[in-house]
Amino acid sequence: MPLPPNVYDAEPIPDGARAEIDRLLASGDLFRYTAPENAPVALLEREFADLMGAKYALAVSSCSAALFLSLRALDLPRGARVLVPGFTFAAVPSAVVHADCQPVLVEVGENYRIDMGDFAAKLDDNIAAVMISHMRGHTSDMDAIMALCDARGVPVIEDAAHSLGTQWSGRKIGTIGKIGCFSFQSYKMINAGEGGILITDDADLIARAIIMSGAYEHNWKKHPVLQDRFATWQNRLPLYNMRMQNLSAAVIRPQLGELARRVQDGRANHDYVAGLLNETPWLHVPPPLAAELRAPDSIQFNLMGFDSDADALAFQDAASARGISVQIFGLSQDNARAFWNWQFIPGGTPDLPRTRAMLMRACDVRLPARLQKPDLDFIADALIGATFAVMEDLRAYGT
């Protein structure tokens, strides 16, 4: 019997990282602002901006830090209302609360994308900014979102934590809104354990974000971007100290060259498993939107015809018995992606019936790009086998 694939381990860090890590260990030069120029973090910022075709990049301690700094860089008034999808990770509304703003949750449909009817209805004169989480790498309709937001002059922050390498009509996700934020936490396309980066073409936003990330005194001079903007903000902004350190950049930089291959493999793996799952009437992987070219490192699918929560949980147990761990977002206790658990939001969370219904049957399985065909077949067989087992029981015994 083949063993279940390990879907949690990342790829090894490319050997190219070793010499630079040894140099940093030998010199102890870990702080990004010690070297007069070309510190690993500064080089990463230049390389990442070039890779994305953005003017500016700022590497920080996490994507959550990038989201927080983006909101602070926009200089929103205390209590400003920020639209956020109702299906995302708790760190996203948390970043909004951290920035002294009020998250306003929008419904998400059963294809995991923002419900544009609810979005348009909630984008009223009281909304100061929009934070679009491309949750699990699913891109919402960016044409419609940008048209609505541009018409009102509302800035859009893209939370592209899971979308490095995704394209929308040939444009890189994270470059469509005013600011794009990415994660280097281990379960993402590029793995530094922790880390994040934000990109923008706006000189004032990047200057403000750089200072607030912890470029105290004149450390901003080590960011070779429009220097005159920094003078404007000198001593006028708080320092939140969310900097990235050099070792993280040394781990990330050699992975940038691996990204295109990982994206291609991740998409091929996903589409292969999706094709197999979609052959059963009880599992449905929603297709991408027409403009979307995805970069998945996990797969989401909906249970179809599982009328009760008990049936859905029986499927989860049957998959587990076959060696595959499935998370049903709404049915695992205290899940950080279930909006009703975001009780830290001031005033509480509204009910979002569509999002709730989706979360109660939406399944999540990790599918890292390094998996090979036998791994994928194992996963698909386990999921399909689990479905048949539950459905046959239901047929035999009813619910």
Ligand X SMILES: Cc1ncc(COP(=O)(O)O)c(C=O)c1O
Binding site for ligand X (CB under 6 A): 62-64, 88-89, 91-92, 133, 135, 159, 161-162, 183, 185, 196
Give the residue among 142, 145, 172 at the shortest CA–CA distance from 53. Answer: 172
* 338: its two tokens: 């279930």
Q: Tell me the closest approach of the beta carbon of residue 75 to ligand X, in angstroms.
A: 22
Q: Tell me the closest approach of the beta carbon of residue 296 to ligand X, in angstroms.
A: 13
**Quick one: 141 or 159, whose CB is closer to ligand X?**
159
Question: Could you give the 3-state DSSP secondary structure of residue 109?
Answer: coil
Q: Edge-to-edge, what's the strand order for the sheet holding 298-303?
A: 283-284, 298-303, 362-366, 327-328
Q: Tell me the closest approach of the beta carbon of residue 133 to ligand X, in angstroms.
A: 5
CA torsion angle 46 51 54 59 (round to 10): -50
**Quick one: 137 or 288, whose CB is closer to ligand X?**
137
**Quick one: 183 or 387, whose CB is closer to ligand X?**
183
**Quick one: 181 or 206, whose CB is closer to ligand X?**
181
Q: Tell me the closest approach of the beta carbon of residue 304 to ligand X, in angstroms.
A: 25
**Quick one: 314 or 369, whose CB is closer to ligand X?**
369
Q: Tell me the closest approach of the beta carbon of residue 12 to ligand X, in angstroms.
A: 21
Q: Tell me the closest approach of the beta carbon of residue 281 to ligand X, in angstroms.
A: 30
Q: How many other CB atoms sit within 10 Å of the CB of residue 128?
A: 19
Q: Are strands 179-183 and 196-200 parallel, antiparallel or unpaired?
A: antiparallel
* Contact status, residue 123 vs residue 149, Cβ threshold 8 Å: yes
Beta strand ranges found along the chain (DSSP E): 56-60, 81-85, 102-106, 127-133, 156-159, 167-168, 171-172, 179-183, 196-200, 283-284, 292-293, 298-303, 327-328, 362-366
Q: Tell me the closest approach of the beta carbon of residue 183 to ligand X, in angstroms.
A: 3
* 342: its two tokens: 């975001």
**Quick one: 7 or 161, whose CB is closer to ligand X?**
161
Task: Compute the distance between CA of residue 278 and CA of residue 246 in angstroms, rounded to an integer.
Answer: 44
Q: Tell me the closest approach of the beta carbon of residue 2 to ligand X, in angstroms.
A: 30
Task: Compute the distance between CA of residue 135 and CA of residue 129 in angstroms, rounded to an integer.
Answer: 18
Task: Compute the distance between CA of residue 117 and CA of residue 141 in angstroms, rounded to an integer.
Answer: 12
> What stretch of H or E contains 315?
helix 309-321
DSSP code, position 251: H
Residues β-bridged to residue 59: 197
**Quick one: 58 or 63, whose CB is closer to ligand X?**
63
**Quick one: 132 or 154, whose CB is closer to ligand X?**
132
